[in-house]
Structure formats: structure tokens, C-alpha cells
Structure 1
Amino acid sequence: MHRTKVRVVRDALDANDTIARANRADFDRAGVTVVNLMSSPGAGKTMLLERALRDLDGVRAGVLEGDVRGSLDADRIAALHIPVAQIETDEGFGGECHLDANMVRSALPSVPLDELDLLVIENVGNLVCPAEFRVGEDHRIMIASVTEGEDKPLKYPLMFRACDLVIVNKIDLLPHLEFDVDKLLYHVEAVHPGVERLLVSARTGEGMDEVRDWLVRATTRQPVPA
């Protein structure tokens, strides 16, 4: 039974990777840079994304919003007059805890890829599954928050190993918490040596210039001739 279970999981991941490569080919043709934004629920992905997108002068951005149910986050992005499509994963018992490559592929006709420089995929809030499923992205950003505890990198190492940038959000709350930022960063370094890290408050805007600059630097892809 155990071997069968492992084989089924491997087959599912392999099938996902095949679709992810097809997504990547479409992104290449359109010249779109794709960022997969991941975190636990409530870490501040949407607020950070709202503020970052407002400041991206000269970068044409679009968003795919992943949630188990509802369009609350997508509505917030749409209010910025940014192209956005909602992906709901609530098709089974409780809903899927992550986006996969096929979900993303199904949503792509809802955003104008040929008119975008940057596509941000806001994944479902979860610290396990999103790290296991590639969707065709160029970069992965992991958002941790100071309300979660310093030990998250040790408990969920794959999430921190799989990302290109770790953003520590909600630093405006530090005066009110017993939270050791240095300890968190030490654990991040232990599981992913050398990964880039930014300390920010999406609410106050502190550190968000660095997030904007990172996204601008990442948005370098040019269309591939047909």
C-alpha cells in the first residue's frame, strides 16, 4: 500500500510538471515574468501585493488570485484597475490547499498575457502544498509574518528552500510582540543559505520600496518570437 501511494503521488507531481512546462512556454512566448506568491493564511499577501502593485510604475502587471472560496482578494486587486482572475479550489471536500499548474492554465485566458510584463500568482494560504507544485513560474516569494513564530523555517523547510525571496511582513507590530527577528533570520539561513530577505510592513509601507525594486529587477523577460 505504501509503495502504491508513493507512486500515485509521484505520478500526480509528474503530470503537474508537464502542464507547468506548457505554462512556462506560454509565458515565454508572451514575454511575461511570473511570480508565485506564497505564505500561510493571514501573513499579509494581498495587502503587500496591493501596495507593491500601486508602486510599479512602468510595469504592466496582472494577478491570478487563488482561494478556496470567494473573490474578496480579487476584488481588492480589481479596485486598482489591474487585470485579475479568480481561481477557486473548492471543488471537493474542503477545497484544495494549493494551486496547481492545471488550475493556473485554466485561468490564463482570463488575463491579457500579451499585454503584461508581470503576472503575480497569489497562491492559497498554506505552508506545505504550494511549495510542492510548480505552476510555470520564474520566481517564488515566501512571506512570513512576525505573528507566526520564529520556528516556521524549521517546521516547514521546503517552503523556505523553494523560494527566491523571503519577505518578513508586519514588522510594525514588533514593539507589541515577543518576537526575535534575528532568530527567524537565523533559521531561514539554516534551511536556505544565502536566500535574499526583506523586512517590511505592508500596512505602513516600511521596506516596500525594496519589494518594488526586487519586482522591477525580476521583470526582465522579452517575448520569444513565434
Structure 2
Amino acid sequence: MCDSVDEVTQAVLAKNDGLAADLRDELTRRGVSVVNLLSSPGSGKTELLGRVLARAVERTLPVAALTADLATDNDADRLARSGAPVKQLLTDGLCHLEARQLRGHVEAWLPEGTSLLFVENVGNLVCPASYDLGESLRIVLMAVTEGEDKPLKYPTAFGSAHLVVLTKTDLTGPAGFDEAAFEANVQRVNPGVEVMRSCARTGAGVDTLLERVLAVRDGAPVHRPPLAPRPHTHTHTHTYEGAEAGLVP
């Protein structure tokens, strides 16, 4: 049983990685950079992305966004208020996006001339962290209301991030959030990664985040995270890669 699970896992890994590499090459030729946004539900990811898109539209930057959910067009409707081209991607129950899904929407929908595509992944820090989408930049977001130890609980997500964004920082005091402990936990699983602070309500961090993304689009080097995306299985026989890498106790 273990051998068959491992074989399936390796097959999924190889297939998705191959598609992601091909998609990355194709988008690079077209001058498109993809930003993959990962977070738990309720992190404020949609609100922050909407602010970033609106700022990009104000600056006449050629941006677009794909937002993924199991159901409803709610997030696409919210993001479309920015004035940027937005497309809803429904996963039909799948808890994450894969490279094949993104490729289909890029081929059928991506507006001509787009140079920056934001992908709002399904709200989940487990499944989406396992799949490379051919992105240029992987950003993991977390709200102060989620707790300082979340990077240790989800080392694959935080350990594969090029950039970490702390959201809802206006609630740091009421939530009793320990920023120093959070920063230490992030650095434990992903040494050297930048941690940004943001608050969509006040607009704090919006311009900084957009500048970070544009710098990568324009060729700036990205942080090299210690972990690469790995497909997971919903079985108890799977060995968690964070433990193998010594990133969790």
C-alpha cells in the first residue's frame, strides 16, 4: 500500500512539475510574471489584493487576476471593483489549483499585453502549498488573528514562500499578537525570507507590496526558500517533508 501511494505521489509530482515548468517558460516568453497568493480563509487576502490591483490600475500597469474558489463568484466580483481584468476559477470541489488548470485559463482568457498576473489560490495552507503553478513569486499571507505559531504548523507553505505578508496589523494589540515570536518562527522554517506588514483597511503596505512584485517582474532576484512544493496525500503513511528537513520539532 505504501509503495503504491508513493508511486502515485511521485507521478503527480512529475506531471505537475513538468506542466508548471512549461507554463513558466511560455509565460516568460510572453513577458508575463505570475504571483501565487496563498493563505488560510479569512486572512484578508482578497481585500489586500483588491487594493493592490486598484493601485496598479491607477498607475496604468498591465495587470490581471485569477481568483480560485470551490464555489461562488464573490471574490471575483470584489476584485473587479479595482478596474483590473478579473476571472473567477471554480475548482469543482478541488482544494487547490494545479498547473493544468492555470494553463487552461491563461490560454483562454488572459488579456493581451498583461505583464503581471495575480493568482488568488484557494483558501488553504495545506493543499495549495504542494503545487507549483509556474509562478515567478509565491507569497504566503497570514493575519495577526491566526497566531504566532502558524509557520511551525504549516512549514511547507511558509517554507516555500518567496515573501511572507502579515495582514490585519491594525488588530495586533487586540489580538495579543507577538510579532517578534512570529518573525522568529517564520525565520525558523524559511531563513532570510522577508516579512512584510500590511493593513488593507488603512492601505498600509499596499504600495510596498506592489513595488516588490514589480521588481520581480522586472528581473530582480527572488529569495530562495528551503522547500520546494511537493504533492501531498491524505493518508497517515505520508512522511511530512518539513519534518524530513528538520524544520518542525
Aligned to 2:37: 37
Which residue, 63, 87, 90 being the options, matches 1:61?
A: 63
- Distance (Å, rounded) in 2 between the aligned partners of 1:210 and 1:182: 21
Which consecutive residues of structure 1, in runs of 5 or more, have no partner in the other structure? 222-226
User: How big is each residue's C-alpha offset from its partner over 1:65-87, in whole Å with a ceiling of 9 and x where there is no partner?
Assistant: 11111111111122222112211
Which of the pair has the greater relative contact order for Cα pairs under 8 Å at 6+ separation?
A: 1
Specify the code of the residue in structure 2 equivalent to 1:23.
Answer: L
After superposing on structure 2, the runs of 4+ consecutive aligned residues of structure 1 that deviate more than 4 Å are: none
The answer to whether the 8 A contact 2:169-2:197 is kept is yes
SS in 1 for 2:146: coil
Give the C-alpha shift of residue 113 in structure 1. 4.8
Note if 1:73 corresponds to 2:49: no
Give the C-alpha shift of residue 139 in structure 1. 0.7
SS in 2 for 1:114: coil
- Distance (Å, rounded) in 1 between the aligned partners of 2:97 and 2:181: 30
The answer to whether the 8 A contact 2:43-2:141 is kept is yes
Which residue, 115, 120, 142 being the options, matches 1:122?
A: 120
- Distance (Å, rounded) in 2 between the aligned partners of 1:162 and 1:32: 21
Aligned to 1:87: 89
The answer to whether the 8 A contact 1:84-1:111 is kept is no
- Distance (Å, rounded) in 1 between the aligned partners of 2:67 and 2:173: 32
Moved more, 80-89 or 116-125: 80-89
Aligned to 2:95: 97
Moved more, 140-149 or 205-214: 205-214
Which consecutive residues of structure 2, in runs of 5 or more, have no partner in the other structure? 220-249
The answer to whether the 8 A contact 1:39-1:125 is kept is yes
Aligned to 1:8: 8
Question: Could you say what the CA RMSD is over the residues aligned between the two structures, in angstroms?
Answer: 1.3
Q: How does 1:122-141 map to 2 (within 5 A)?
A: 122-141=120-139
Q: How does 1:15-26 map to 2 (within 5 A)?
A: 15-26=15-26
Aligned to 1:51: 51
Give the C-alpha shift of residue 109 in structure 1. 3.0
Specify the code of the residue in structure 2 equivalent to 1:44.
Answer: G
The answer to whether the 8 A contact 2:54-2:83 is kept is no
The answer to whether the 8 A contact 2:62-2:116 is kept is yes
SS in 2 for 1:174: helix
- Distance (Å, rounded) in 2 between the aligned partners of 1:13 and 1:88: 22
User: How big is each residue's C-alpha offset from its partner over 1:87-113, in whole Å with a ceiling of 9 and x where there is no partner?
Assistant: 1112xxxx1111000111111134335
SS in 2 for 1:147: helix
The answer to whether the 8 A contact 2:51-2:82 is kept is no
Give the C-alpha shift of residue 157 in structure 1. 0.5
- Distance (Å, rounded) in 1 between the aligned partners of 2:195 and 2:61: 23
Aligned to 1:190: 188
Note if 1:219 corresponds to 2:217: yes
